[in-house]
Structure 1
Amino acid sequence: MAINLDKLVGFHQRAVNIREDRMEVIAGNLANANTPGYKARDIDFNKAMSSAREHQQGSMTRTSDKHFAGKMTASQFELQYRVPNQPDTGDGNTVEVQAERNAFLENGMRYQASLQFLDGKLKGMKKALSGGNG
């Protein structure tokens, strides 16, 4: 019986990848907090997961190890501009540092939880493969 790792961890792997991409976008927002005219952006996690699921279902099968495996990146997700809660300060920058820090921390916690869940799944698989002895 073949083991399909994508069925075992595919959803959570995609979640980790999207959370990683989202952290990069938020970090970019924070890095540009003082850049005049910079517009804060974000990835809608739910839309990105839906898109990743659709992409995975419609993706082609690799017929050779020499073929590249496709990976969706943040540039493939629709980056959205954040709607600021605070009025414009006059320079056109929409980054709200505290909101970005909060989003970064929340995303980081969810990223860590996803990694721990993946780790548990893989440990369970390893235990099943070793006959429960390891």
Structure 2
Amino acid sequence: MKLFDSTLGLHGQALSLRSERMEVLSRNIANADTPNFKAQDLDFRSALKGVQQGNEIKTTHAGHVSSFEGASPNLFYTKPLNASSDGNTVEISVEQAKYGRAAAEYQATLRFLEGDISAIRKVLRGD
């Protein structure tokens, strides 16, 4: 809905991007022992900039964000500090640290959204 898009600003889109990044990082963690798996990450800043420039979020159905138009260029393969003999580039401790930080950033964005929604409720109620 356009009203909420303009009222909530980029927080809703940022939350979706943060969720997408957490999916990428969790996929890395899940494949830590898969031979030849290449770890990826999402460049959040570039992806958000793309959204600001008008790229829309694509969904497969109303409750699920599958990918972002223009986000593919924002996905990149990470370069490990220590090469694995099986070709896997996941460094589990690095990925877990990234995931922890991404989760904290997701929570912070969610709190901003909750504040925005609370303010809208007050306006609608006339408080």
TM-score bracket for the superposition, by shorter chain length = 0.7 to 0.9
Give the length in aligned residue pairs.
117
Structure 1 residue ranges, 4+ long, deviating more than 6 angstroms after superposition: none
Alignment-derived partner of residue 21 in structure 1:
20
Which one has a larger percent strand, Structure 1 or Structure 2?
2
- The amino acid across from 2:8 in the alignment is V
Taking only aligned residues, the RMSD between alpha carbons, in angstroms, comes to 2.1
Unaligned runs of 5+ in 1: 60-67
Q: How does 1:1-134 map to 2 (within 5 A)?
A: 4-56=3-55, 73-74=67-68, 76-77=70-71, 78=73, 79-86=75-82, 88-132=83-127
TM superposition shift of 1:127: 0.5
Q: Using a 3 Å threshold, how does the CA distance of structure 1 residues 96 and 126 change in structure 2: closer, same or farther?
A: same
Q: Give the structure, 1 or 2, with the largest relative contact order (CA under 8 Å, sep 6 or more).
A: 1
* Equivalent residue number for residue 63 of structure 1: none
- Contact 2:29-2:92 at 8 Å conserved across structures: yes
Q: Which amino acid aligns with 2:37?
A: Y
Q: Structure 2: where are the runs of 5+ without partners?
A: 57-61
SS of the aligned residue for 1:80 comes to strand
TM-score by length of 2: 0.83
**Conservation of the 8 A alpha-carbon contact between 1:22 and 1:74:** no
* Percent of pairs with identical residues: 35
